[in-house]
Chains A and B, each alone.
Chain A
Amino acid sequence: MERVNLSPIQRASTTFKDEIINKMFIFISFLFLSSSTYAQSTVPVAGFVTNQSGEPLAGVSILVKGGSQATTSDNKGHFEINAPANSTLVISYVGYISREISVGNTPSSDLSVQLIVNKNELEQVIVVGYGTRKKSDVTGAITSISEQSIKDVPASNLASALQGQGAGIDIQRSGANSKPGATPSILIRGTRSLGAGNSPLIVVDGIPFDGSINDINQDDVSSVEVLKDASSTAIYGSRGANGVILISTKRGKTGKAVLTYSGYAGVTNVSRDFPVMNGTEFANLKKWAKINAAPADYTGLDDPKFLTDGTFSAEEVEGLEIGRNTDWQKLVYKQGFMTNHQVGIAGGSDATQYAASLGYFDQKGIYPGQEFQRFSVKASVDQQLGKFIKVGLNSLNTFTLRNGENNNPMAQALRANPLVSPYDSAGNVINDYVPGNANQVWNPLGDLIPKAVVEDRKRFGTFTTLYLEASLIKGLKYRLNAGAEIRSDVYGNYYSAKTSYRVNKGGSASVNRTGFRTNYTLENLLIYDKTFAGKHKINLTGLYSLQQSNNQSNSFDNTDIAADYLAYYNPTYGANLKGSGDYEQWDIISYMGRLNYSYSDRYLLTLTMRSDGSSRLAPGNKYHAFPSAAVAWNISRESFFRNADNVFTNLKLRASYGRVGNTSIDAYQTLGSLSSIVYNFGTVTTTGAYPTNAPNPTLAWEYTSTANIGLDFGLLNNRVSGSVEVYKQFTNSLLLPQTLPPTSGIPNQIVTNVGKTENRGIEIHLSTVNIQGKTRNSFTWTSDINFFINRGKITQLANGVTSDPGNQWFVGKPLDVIYDYQKVGIWQNTAEDTAAAKSLGLTVTGPSSVIGTIRVADLSGPDGKPDGKISSTYDKTILGGSEPKWEGGMTNRFGFKGFDLTVVAFARMGSLMNSSLYGGNFVNTYQGNYNNLKVDYWTPTNHQNNFPKPNFASSNPVNRSLLGYFDGSFLKIRSISLGYNLPQPILQKLTARSLRVYATASDPFILFSPYRRAGGIDPEGTGTVGIDTPSTWAFIFGVNVSF
């Protein structure tokens, strides 16, 4: 495995430093041992040092305990040493837990040593904003995720690979969407903003990254650092409030060229079908719907009139007679496919290091026509120019193709009538309305006919960073960082006339959207490093930076395209051509200074001050200062601590406080805006403009102050290590989108700086080496556990109001709550219930009678107590929210005889989820017009208390939203991976450094989920969990090889 987490700036110095350390080790050992007697006889010992994944480790120090002999491993991890008989070898390497191996008295040529990553290695260098630091010197709360962890989960994008890997990092599928190319949402330490974004800032190789997570090939990533507290993020002041994710990509390093290949391929399948009714069940629902709408008209379910009075169409009647039961989902789903290939080469001399890679990823979805492909090319060069100057360049280029990103046949498939056939007598797809569904449901198979629905996204992007670093005088460096990102995105849609998309509209339609985005960053840094009197270490960093982002897009659409094959390519041949365009530019200018001071490596201090100016805010409010301070105490380095050495390898206490900002709102909000609207006066057509957004001339920074206390510990030679963080965040001047009363004349929400939120939480990381196997043949077991709790709440809203039901914001409550009536069951057809309903003023007779519908509680009234009326003002309450009680992840790695087994699990417990499958979509209407979710509904004879009566006279059950709320807790196995590392003798024959084959099951099990138990598919998802592409599980085979 490569050394982790190296940014270009530090690479040269660390490799150099490592060398020094290694040499010092040898030297010290020599001094220490010089007085002892030399052993009489020596035996030659040779072998290999690898990491847990079987990859060779180069530069590992191997020395004889109590002796003078020492060596280091070569590029292939190979080493040879002459050791005294019956002596012990000490094998150590920065970032790994040291090992001792006994040597017998016979020569040994194939000693295989496995080193386990030391999660709390103080010498380890990690990336922080604008530089790197030794872990022992870090004062803030930073989660480091290694390349190994990313590799553990072969996923379609980097964010999915990080799921469950770090405390305080909440990654969920957006809206439970599992389409190929869908990107998850990332939240760090909860949500704090209501109006501005909550997404963290992503920084790739030191430069803010504006692209999508899909634009990054995770195989190119060497490490991910997540900055969580204000002290760490304050240097990204302007946009640090939501946390910062620092992604470092792989660079070359000095040594022989290493060629790597990694690849996998596998299949994906739907994890579970949506629970809809079969033919008979649907027929009964339809009959009940008619009976409940007009009880006098029917004698019961067996009334023969149903077959002749138009309740059932001719096709349905036929279906009933022959017992037809069409499973529309089965006809729509297919097996998906996923494959990934990456070839890389890296190496270099002392002056020049290079790395290059090619990647290809392809994922085909579970519906025909869904696909995501990514082609990537990466190249980096670092070059020393003379003695004082170093330059480097890194270029990430991706081209992605995404098909069918909105195509979702479920909206039709779940509602389609199970009694009728999708095919005509000749076996062709009937490309029309599904009979018996009130001319509302189009045959979903019609949308899947090739070329009927075209949704192509082509996206090309290049992200290039370069740096120049000059040593000016001793200790003083100047560094120029420059990064440019250019992305072009073309999204074309075509919907032929006979598809569900064009139902009720007539004619085919096309849309073609093009976007072009540029984003550049320029940074000038001065860095001063100095140690005074051996004990006072000072690091000063000064920065001036400028970022500008420019986005331009155009869209045109038309209908009635002359020929299907023209699709979206030429709008000339069609009717009703319309076009629109969008332009946005924003800038941020920043000044930053940072002081790192340490005394005797025991007492550490970091002071940061950053001032940012944002174009998006109002004149006069554009600039804001973001100060922060942090202290840390390396307790384990105190002399009084020595006694505890055997237990505590390391103990460090940290505390920080600081302020960071957020301006992630759309540009131009200070100005207000008009909307366009079309009209005609006879044949004279016009486009008018009318005010829809109010200007806000006082828009200012939203900022978050965070206090963080952390404790890092390592016990038993770091076999147990971890950290505990406790934090509290205060967000002020919230950028709130506010719905105004309609009488304001402004129909759209506007963003204002009002309100405050608070978040507090605790995060625990624990890494343990449970069983430390000596060699590749012995059993090894390590665990990584993270656990975190976040509690957010609104503490202030605009104008001192404490409750804003229109926006569902309530002071003292979490940011994202569900505010609705309280369901207490179903109104039963008893005298008691009828009387109770009547007394509430509810209708109890006729087609809109409430009997058999959802009953809600009369919770309160104008006087604060139940008033005998159901009113939305007094009887809605907070039922819960999306914030979980706790979250956690756990990764267990087992190794034995070259085999490794990795199980990644994560849990999100105690949130209230909203499923539009049950509570919102057209698949749970009980009207009988469409197929329905399979539920035990109320009938005059089935007095159950959960689901309302079918009613043909009502297109939606009253209070249906209440059916959609579920406990969103879950415990999932994210992946199970079994791998095998080929042993050295075989590798040597193959002339390979390493070769690992593996099989992985992704998302194989949901071990616990009340929603799933109730019939749903997968509770994971931000916002409302809908009926988009259901979740899938994958089974893949892969190989990693290096030469």
Chain B
Amino acid sequence: MKKIFVLLSTAFIMVLAGCNKKLIEDPKSILVPDFFKTSQGLESGLDAAYAGMRSFWGNQNLFTVTVIGTDGFMRGVDGNSDINLYSSNYTPSQGTISSIWKDAYTFINTCNGIVDNVPNVDIPQARKDQILAEAKFLRANYYFILVQFYGDVTLNKNFQTAPTTSATRDKMADVYDFIIQDLKDAIAVLPASPKTSGVLPGKANAAAAKHVLAKVYLTRAGSSAKQADDYVNAYNTATDLINSSASIGLNLLPDFAKIFAEGNEANNEVLWTVQHTSDIAFNGPNNSGGADNVLNHMWVPQYEKRPGMIRSIEYGRPYIRCIPTLWLVDTAFKERVNDTRYNKTFQTVWYANNPDPDEKGYPKWPSPLPPGAPAGAVAGEVQFHLGDTAIYMPGYDVSDAQIKAAPYLLIPPRKYSNTLSPTMFKYFDTKRADLNSPSVRPVIVYRLAETYLIAAEAAFMSGKITEALQYVNAVRERAAFPTGDAQAMDVTASDLSIDFFLDERARELCGENMRWWDLVRTGKLLERVRLHNKEAAPNIQEKHILRPIPQSQIDNTTTGTPYPQNPGWD
């Protein structure tokens, strides 16, 4: 009995003794915010701040709100009707609008975490400066997206780790000042060019930062926060970059077609890209969502529903989110002899690719043969074979009789539809793993030709007509390569107007995720959408010049003053 007693008491005491060390949390599989106070933490944070850019450039959300619903592109058959038609169903609860807002603030906080913690981490000063400069470049870019869409926004300058339930909107002017300061700080430290030795693809560089800074000045000049010297600053910053470009390995490519050639994304005209890779584990979810680059899908029409055609890697996955407006293809791109850009931007021919040996999906000549049928046409025989032209859009009108007599599907502009229209192919990707996979190509965000157009527009707006002509004609002359007459491309002072610059940008920067901002900056959104986008024309209103503040922001701002909505959206 006694023995047992002793035994039990010992057991009891032993259990008691081990206890005070318990109850302390010691995580082993998660990283906590204090990780940012270490050198590895800063590096990981910086990588994440870059990765956040994939939620914008290449993502369907940014594409939707910059490309469609403009004068250039309208809704395709599978397009988002509400937001692109500016219908009454486009509300502050719209997911696209909320995602852009949320993603930007998440990664701004990541940048803030880096900026705030850099001074306290023990790493060499040069590395500190570099990390800080890259973080500021990225932060400026995130804020620039926000301020262009939403106007006054919340300006977070510091790392937030405590849960906050209140928020206020800061003046657009303050946000612009902050962006400009970040970019100036970045320019002072960043390597000069993406071509500078040691600069990895996709990394921030001074050339890209100068381009953004010029664009920021130009954009602010068109906003209610405009400063008197904005156009001058935009011009000076852009020309500074252009003038130094040769010395830092940058130039306009001779051939417009090579800029977006697959695999050539690191060409000398490119200032900054958002990266993607064929290493799928590092490319995104690979399901055409989230961080994936889906620009390859966006313009692809329903070619596969036409005779002789099946879905292929080459022709892409028919998301058909948008089609060009008639104005874009017929008016803006009217010149096709000296200006080679239409044919280097749009696909108008599809070759039969259905390998079915019985040619089941192929059309047969009717009996009797239509008048004008080509020689060799036999009633009841297949009209064309594998590898022959299956769909062709000549770009000019043809008669119904000609359409009937053509062996292939002949589509003049009056027959363009929201299932099949000329197709923008800048982002096509033939190296992706599967028919339906998203793109593995880096997304070109900024390129030197736009710097020229910024310089030209800024020059024009500040009365420097000669300089304006110089920069815009440089871009236009290049467009003639190789078959056109470069001199014939030149414009003169009388051609210049703000509308001209918009037209030129439509040709040069077609589909490059910025058109909506261009229209807002120039105050032409309502006018041009009403003129050229026939579906959106009846719906667009003054309030659409700003995107609505997401309902999730308003609903979850539960303390302090209610978060103000943009005019007309509540």
Residues of A within 8 A of B (CB): 310, 314, 388-389, 439, 468, 470, 472, 478, 480, 503-507, 522, 524, 544, 546, 548, 559, 575-578, 581-585, 587, 589, 613-616, 622, 667-668, 670-674, 677-692, 694-696, 738-747, 750, 752, 797-799, 801, 804-807, 840-843, 845-848, 850, 862, 871-873, 952-955, 958
Contacts and interface: CB of A to CB of B under 8 A. Distances in A.
A642 B503 CA distance: 103
6 contacts: A507-B434, A677-B47, A683-B279, A843-B538, A848-B539, A850-B89
A842 B4 CA distance: 84
Interface residues of B, number: 112
Contacts, number: 307
A368 to B, nearest CB: 26
A746 B160 contact: yes
A575 B283 CA distance: 13
Interface in B109-130: 109-110, 112-113
Contacts of B375: none
Contacts of B435: 506
Q: Which 7 A-B pairs have the closest CB atoms?
A: A506-B434, A745-B109, A688-B48, A688-B47, A806-B555, A679-B51, A681-B200
B163 A799 contact: no
Contacts of A504: 287-288, 317, 436-437
B54 to A, nearest CB: 7
Nearest to B318: A439
Given A685-B282, A691-B33, A742-B553, A843 B89 contact: yes
Interface in B74-97: 77-78, 81-82, 85, 87-89, 91-93
Contact of A587 (B8, B23, B51, B52): B23
B151 to A, nearest CB: 14
A691 B109 contact: yes
Contacts of B33: 671-674, 691, 694-695
A848 B555 contact: no
B81 to A, nearest CB: 5
B32 A738 contact: no
A968 to B, nearest CB: 26
B16 A679 contact: no
A615 B52 CA distance: 34
A147 B165 CA distance: 51
B281 A847 contact: no
Nearest to B539: A843
B333 to A, nearest CB: 26
Given A843-B85, A847-B81, 18 more contacts: A310-B419, A439-B311, A470-B8, A480-B11, A546-B15, A576-B279, A587-B23, A667-B27, A677-B47, A688-B51, A691-B110, A691-B161, A694-B161, A742-B556, A805-B555, A871-B91, A871-B570, A958-B89
Contact of B50 (A559, A679, A747, A872): A679
Contact of B25 (A581, A589, A670, A797): A670
Nearest to A313: B305
Contacts of A807: 556
Interface of B: 1, 4-5, 8, 11-12, 15-16, 18-19, 22-33, 35-36, 41, 44-52, 54, 77-78, 81-82, 85, 87-89, 91-93, 98, 101-102, 105-110, 112-113, 153-154, 156, 160-167, 200-203, 266, 275-277, 279-284, 286-288, 291, 302, 305, 311, 317, 361, 419, 433-437, 535, 538-539, 550-559, 563, 570
Contacts of B106: 690, 692, 742, 745-747
B57 to A, nearest CB: 12
Nearest to A677: B51
Given A674-B32, A680-B275, A739-B552, A589 B22 contact: yes
A798 B201 CA distance: 46
A743 B32 contact: no
Contact of B551 (A522, A848, A872, A953): A872
B279 A680 contact: yes
Contacts of B49: 688, 690
Given A742-B550, A744-B105, A689 B50 contact: no
Contacts of A845: 538
A680 B277 contact: yes
Contacts of B201: 681-682
Contacts of B434: 505-507
A674 B35 contact: yes
B558 A743 contact: no
B201 to A, nearest CB: 4
A613 B25 CA distance: 12
B396 to A, nearest CB: 24
A682 B277 CA distance: 7
A589 B16 CA distance: 10
Majority-rule SS of B interface residues: loop
A582 B54 CA distance: 26
Contacts of A797: 558
A848 B75 CA distance: 12
B92 A872 contact: yes
A848 B35 contact: no
Given A691-B161, A744-B167, A745-B156, A685 B279 contact: yes
Nearest to A615: B23
Contacts of B77: 952-953
A584 B305 CA distance: 53
Contacts of B556: 739-742, 804, 806-807
A632 B283 CA distance: 67
A825 to B, nearest CB: 17
B277 A685 contact: yes
A696 B203 CA distance: 35
Contacts of B279: 576, 680, 683, 685
Contacts of B161: 672, 691, 694-695
A752 B29 contact: no
Nearest to B199: A681
Contacts of B78: 955
B30 A668 contact: yes
A695 B22 contact: no
A934 B435 CA distance: 34
A740 to B, nearest CB: 6
A314 B553 CA distance: 48
B501 to A, nearest CB: 31
Given A695-B33, A741-B563, A678 B282 contact: yes
B184 to A, nearest CB: 24
Contact of B163 (A468, A622, A750, A801): A750
B22 A746 contact: no
Nearest to B5: A472
A176 B5 CA distance: 54
A806 B552 contact: yes
Nearest to B101: A742
A769 to B, nearest CB: 48
A953 B25 CA distance: 54
A842 B30 CA distance: 48
A689 B277 CA distance: 19
Nearest to B289: A504
Contacts of B154: 743
Contacts of B108: 745
A1006 B91 CA distance: 41
A689 B35 contact: yes
Given A472-B5, A679-B275, A681-B275, A673 B570 contact: no
A648 B518 CA distance: 87
A362 B317 CA distance: 45
Contacts of A686: 47, 51, 282
A689 B38 CA distance: 12
Contacts of A589: 19, 22-23
Contacts of A694: 33, 160-163
Contact of A745 (B11, B89, B105, B311): B105
B15 A544 contact: yes
A745 B275 CA distance: 24
Given A388-B1, A546-B15, A843 B25 contact: no
A505 B282 contact: no
Given A480-B8, A622-B23, A690-B49, A682 B87 contact: no
